Structure 1
Amino acid sequence: MGGGLLVLWDIDQTLIKTNGVATEAYAEAVLETVGSTWRGDMTFNGLTERAMAVRVLRMHDVDPDPELLTLFLANLERSLLSRAEATKARGYALTGALAALQALDAESDVRQSVLTGNIRTVAEMKLQAFGLHSWIDFPIGAYGDDEFERNALIPHAWRRAEARYGRTYAPAETVILGDTVRDVEAALAHDAAVVAVASGSTSVADLRDAGAEVVLDDLADTGRVLAAITEATAAVARR
């Protein structure tokens, strides 16, 4: 692809779907942490785990002070990890996800990791469940336990990539692939390239309205995915 790229993938609704497992884990964590039965809402696409935890606690009329939030996140992480088999049994990798990861791995000038709202251990578990982990460089990713706002995650990936490989990636050499408006906003906040994928609940039109110049319906066509990454980096160069 030329020049070297850092490709950062969203996980949920972009590479995989887990079909309600997260809701069950949150319900268990709420019960364990504050003793309330579940009456939350998990429709806030693109939030970090930390931001989602705050919203869920407030939905249960609990003030998420730092100590309680830390406890809740620990209980949530344990609850999610205990559902590894359920994730594997009920979820699936989206069409084209494996082929896209493999194709990028074959490019000598590309490193790929994740930019995800998931806690790192949960991100690793989810991708391992569907055999997608081997192509992801987890140590240089950015995760939902790094920051509250998704927009603040990209600098973590840049810092980790530089520390691990001695290579600084410019915004135009960084590509975010995700399915939500928040993925698009996170890329644009740092002048990075973005390929939006309408594989979740956000429409092509809404992704374009958010500022994504390159939008795919899905990852099914590997050649198109690679071309989209090239188009997205070219769009950044034109800004």
Structure 2
Amino acid sequence: MGGALLVLWDIDQTLIKTDGVGTEAYSEAVLETIGSPWRGDMTFNGLTERAMAARVLRMHDIEPDPALLTLFLANLERSLLARAEAIKARGYALTGARAALEALGGEPGARQSVLTGNFRTVAEMKLRAFDLHSWIDFAIGAYGDDEVERNALIPHAWRRAEARYGRVYDAAQTVILGDTVRDVEAALAHGAAVVAVASGTTAAADLRDAGAEVVIADLGDTAGVLTAIGRATEAAGRSA
């Protein structure tokens, strides 16, 4: 692969699955915040927690004013963190996730972190639950704490990486790996490379239609993952 590379992973349905634990946490947070039973759904793939929280409150006929949204997010974060053992027991790392992280960890010049809609605390908890955290530098990631819209997250990772390592990563040296159209859109909004992984509920064809030039079925072929990253960064370089 060679050269400087900033690899930013999505978490849910790209590296791990949590088998409905998130819905349970949202249900508890809704009841705690507004006193109403859960009647929402969790079909908004790729949203940040801030965006998802606002939508969920509106599903319950509540307008998410800033004070209420802050309270709901605090309750939600606490509810998610309280389910660490449930996530570990019921969830799992997706096939090839550990091997891909380890292989990239051995690439000179590559730094790995996350670009995720999760709170930072929850992102760390989830990856620690499946022992996937060792290759991730959480200090240079971008999180649902940072922005409402996922498209605005990449600059946070760039700023943090520059502050930590004294290196400016350009768009062609930055690759997003994720399973949703929103992951693809976030990368393309900044000219970054993207490897779309069809391991979630979004079909490969839909990921291509969203603009992903490189789409893989899953992380099961480690060499294939590295090749895909190389292809994606080459494509981003041509478009720069």
Q: Name the TM-score, length of structure 2 as normaliser.
A: 0.99
Counterpart amino acid of 2:108? S
Contact kept? 2:2, 2:107, Cα under 8 Å: no
Q: Which residue of 2 aligns with 1:79?
A: 79
Measured against aligned partners, the alpha-carbon deviations of 1:154-192 in whole angstroms (never above 9, x if no partner) come to 000000000001000000000000000000000000000
- RMSD across aligned C-alpha pairs, in angstroms? 0.4
Determine what percentage of the aligned residue pairs are the same residue.
82
The aligned counterpart of 1:58 is 58
1:150 aligns with 2:150: yes
The alpha-carbon deviation at position 84 of structure 1 amounts to 0.2
Alpha-carbon distance, 1:139 to partner: 0.3
Pairs aligned (count): 239
Tell me, what secondary structure is at the counterpart of 2:194? strand
d(CA) in 1 for partners of 2:85, 2:111: 29
3-state SS of paired residue (1:175): strand
Q: In the TM superposition, what whole-angstrom CA distance separates every residue of 1:25-48 from its partner, at most 9, and x where no partner exists?
A: 000000000000000010100000
Partner of 1:201: 201
Q: 2:47 maps to which residue?
A: 47
The DSSP-based 3-state class of the residue aligned with 2:176 is strand
Specify the alignment match of 1:12 in structure 2. 12
- Give the CA deviation at 1:2: 1.9
Note the 1:212-231 alignment, pairs <5 A.
212-231=212-231
Structure 1: 4+ residue segments shifted above 2 A: none
Number of the residue aligned with 1:35: 35
- Alignment partners' CA distance in 1, 2:5 and 2:72: 36
SS in 1 for 2:52: helix
TM value normalised by structure 1: 0.99
Q: Supply the distance in 2 between the matched residues of 1:115 and 1:149 (Cα, whole angstroms).
A: 12
One-letter code of the match for 2:52?
M
* Structure 1 unpaired stretches of 5+: none
Unaligned runs of 5+ in 2: none
